[in-house]
Structure 1
Amino acid sequence: MAYPDTYYKRTISDARARPALTGTIECDTVIVGGGLAGLTTALQLCRAGRSVVLLEAESVGFGASGRNGGFVSPGFATGGDDIARMAGTEAARSIHRLSIEGVDFVRDTIRELGIEAAVPQPGISSVLRYDGGDTLKRHAEAMAKTYGYELEYFDTDRIRSVLKSKRYFQGLRDGRAFHMHPLNYLRGVAAEIERLGGQIFEHSPAERCELDGAEKVVATAGGRVKARQVVFTTGGYTGGLNRRLKRAFLPIATYVMVSEEAPELIRSAIQTTDAIGDNRRAGDYYRVIDGGKRLLWGGRITTRAASTAALVAELRAEMTGTYPQLSGLKTELAWSGLMSYARHLMPQIGQMQPGVWHCTAFGGHGLNTTAMGGKLIAEGILGESDRYKLFKPFGLVWAGGVAGLAVAQLTYWKLQAQDWWRERAA
């Protein structure tokens, strides 16, 4: 499978190719999956002096970790009330603090490793497409009181002074959150893993595994790895290697497009360097990139393979419906990617059996949460903490297979209809 022609691929800072696995290698930990969760786990283990082998079926950052919108902000795809209902109030607060920690971890890693090509840009604004300022104010007050986390409230006049659209009413700006070039971040982390002695093998899909003994074995077509610990960090591209893992989440596709260079036209609509996301379920998310020259716009989800061209037409309809002044802005690139979603809409982080770990289902949760998951798994392997157990209520429950995909699609359509009615009532 070829890497999709994305903006991130075209602007990659480190395009080095890594060899496929051959022969037999022994190490402390073998990690399956070269996305953000796997790379973060490997980085933290290498920093602690452990020997690590990471197997990637394609190339580092091939999956959702390297193709997404680049948002790094706290929180989860699931609402705080739902998390508290499943895990308890105190645990829910601890889990949210972990998501804040994840933002700081990614930012610190960029600084410590000097990953300038990640181009971190501060500020993410969440905007409402209906009149609901009081709700936002209460949320900001609760965040400040509970977590000491400050959010800046924007009223309608202020929102529309920077986002020239009548679709938006109020918003909250998170100045501690940021957005970045995700693929360049991943490549920078991979380079540091190798500098510390870790080994990364690309084009090496894991085909077989033996997990029951004290010594685990993961085999590819060209070789095998023996280790005391195995970590599965595959996402939407998970194959049949571990059936328990594969049945526990659904592969969901999302879509992104990037415009031509048109800085003046883009500025006629968007006069902020913040990344923007609206309040709808699977709503629009976008940000100005290339120093204001281009616009990256994402959204839409499907539960089955769909024509990227057809979905781009829908994305363009969303963009021009929000900003009619951008009707002449041409799309230069578009791509799709698979994310993994669990039935409970939370990440799945934990230990499947002694020496076998999983860290997946990060669809919709952001880069910080994915990195935080890898950090927690590394802490568990090193015996530094058992914080991964906070995610025990969100286990590897069956996601429903084909029926689960159908239910997910119907749920998405229902939420879209609810969004439509709420906006019409505004």
Structure 2
Amino acid sequence: MNTPVWEGGGWPGLPKLEGSLEAEVCVVGLGGSGLSAILELLRLGRRVVGLDAGRVAGGAAGRNGGFLLAGLARFYHQSVRAYGRERARRVYQATLEQIERMARETPEAVRRVGSLRVAASSEELEDCEAHLAALRADGFAAWPYAGPEGEGILLPDDAAMNPLLRCRRLARKALEAGARLFEQSPALEIRWGEVRTPKGRVRCEGVLVAVDGRLEQVLPELEGRVRTARLQMLATAPIPPRFPRPVYRRWGYDYFQQLPDGRLALGGMRDREEAAEWTCSDEPTPSLQRRLEGWLEALGVRAPVTHRWAASVGYTPTGWPIAEEVRPGVWAIGGYSGTGNVVGARLGREVAWALCGQRMPGAVFLP
């Protein structure tokens, strides 16, 4: 079983690319970041072709925990230390604005419920206090929290979503706006002016590779700067309402949210088997799934497990995502270090402008 809880069926699928097409931009990867870029390019008046090796949001974009978190993978106070206060502040504000935009774009897929970061130790609780103080010092909303989930921080401007539903809604919008999108069409060759697939090719002026997991395989020059890991999750049958907002725990390694229909989607524990989880495989493993089941029991959840799944995601050593022109005319975005839902969507928009030779107003990731 490797089906995410988000899969409700009803997606008719898209054709494979066969033959030759021309476009101004070819986007490789039809996840959240790639679709965000496509819609921005369409708004900028460009002709766009989008390709995916599998299905729309078939990778991590449709197989993640459904968290919409402001900021980067590092917590805010850590980002201030790593990147400087002004840069961290601007990124946090930009991602807050991106969450607002995502809620407007796909209200049926997004729930504005905030999020919790809760501590699993006294040391982590001290870190939560430093996290809270840094956010408040820069004027961002954050409150101390103590409740059934534990002690930590309540972040009222975060949100939860159904990631697969959101991506499919974006794909439909892109098609309606004139984009040509193709599934089951892996990019075998990517170069300035052309992308080749098994049965077709796209001639174009620019290329965007919007891939998170396995990015270093698609673009080998990024080897060593981004590394693929497996994130595993499970979901249960419905339980009575207990958790009104998504929960991040144990330094972000563990996470869960209760869905509107009562099901609990829970994931994490990657650090418990870290060597095995640095892999390009996206198949769940019995040993880590047992760890997730143990956490379910610790939460007092007795409902049967109905779904198990995994996804490949990209990590960078610094926690800062990849966003650059890696070959002449070929841009890449990815390496979101496990928090790509918001950052990836924002980066897709910023790089869309860069592909048009412009700088997006308020850009924070690009020079």
Q: Is the structural similarity TM-score above 0.5?
A: yes
Structure-to-structure mapping, 1:17-416, within 5 angstroms: 17-80=13-76, 83-84=79-80, 87-111=83-107, 116=108, 118-131=109-122, 136-146=128-138, 148-155=139-146, 159-160=147-148, 163=149, 168=150, 170-211=151-192, 216-238=193-215, 240-261=217-238, 263-264=239-240, 267=241, 271-282=242-253, 284-292=254-262, 294-301=263-270, 302-304=277-279, 305=281, 308-321=285-298, 323=299, 325-326=300-301, 328-382=302-356, 383-385=358-360, 390=365
User: Is residue 377–residue 388 contact of structure 1 (8 Å, CA) maintained in 2?
Assistant: no
Retained in 2: the 8 A contact 1:349–1:388? no
Q: CA deviation at 1:237?
A: 3.5
Is this contact kept in 1: 2:216–2:227, CA < 8 A? Answer: no
The 2-side partners of 1:235 and 1:45 are apart by 20
Q: State how far apart, in whole Å, the 1-side matches of 2:113 and 2:80 are.
A: 29
1:273 partner letter? P
1:389: Cα distance to partner? 6.8
Letter in 2 for 1:236: G
> Which whole-Å CA distance do the structure 2 matches of 1:178 and 1:94 have between them?
19
Give the conservation status (yes or no) of the 8 Å contact 1:21–1:220.
yes
SS of 2:294's partner is helix
Within 1, Cα distance between the matches of 2:268 and 2:175? Answer: 34
Q: Counterpart in 2 of 1:8?
A: 6
Contact 2:67/2:159 (8 A) holds in 1 = yes
CA gap of 1:241–1:129, structure 2 versus 1, over 3 A, is: closer
Residue 150 of structure 1 aligns with an amino acid whose one-letter code is A
Superposition RMSD in Å? 2.4
**Shift in CA distance, 387/247, structure 1 to aligned 2, threshold 3 Å:** farther
For residues 71 and 201 of structure 1, do their structure 2 counterparts lie closer, same or farther at Cα, with a shift above 3 Å needed? Answer: same
Larger displacement relative to structure 2 (135-144 or 52-61):
135-144
Q: Quick check: which has more Rg, 1 or 2?
A: 1
- SS of the residue corresponding to residue 142 of structure 1 reads helix
CA displacement at 1:96 relative to structure 2: 2.4
Question: 3-state DSSP class of the match of 2:287?
Answer: helix
1:308 touches 1:334 (CA, 8 Å); kept in 2? no
Describe the shift of the 1:17–1:359 C-alpha distance in structure 2 as closer, same or farther (beyond 3 A): same
Q: 1:241 to 1:331 in 2, by over 3 A?
A: closer
Q: How far has the Cα of 1:210 moved from its partner? A: 2.7
Task: Give 1:285's aligned amino acid.
Answer: Y
Residue 222 to residue 357, structure 1, CA distance change in 2 (3 Å): same
Residues 228 and 355, structure 1, Cα contact 8 Å, conserved in 2: yes
Task: Flag the 1:189–1:26 CA change in 2: closer, same or farther, 3 A.
Answer: same
Residue type of the alignment partner of 1:128: A
Shift in alpha-carbon separation, 1:386–1:230, aligned structure 2, 3 A:
farther
Contact 1:154/1:171, CA 8 A, preserved across alignment: yes
Counterpart residue identity of residue 176, structure 2: R
Shift of 1:137: 4.5
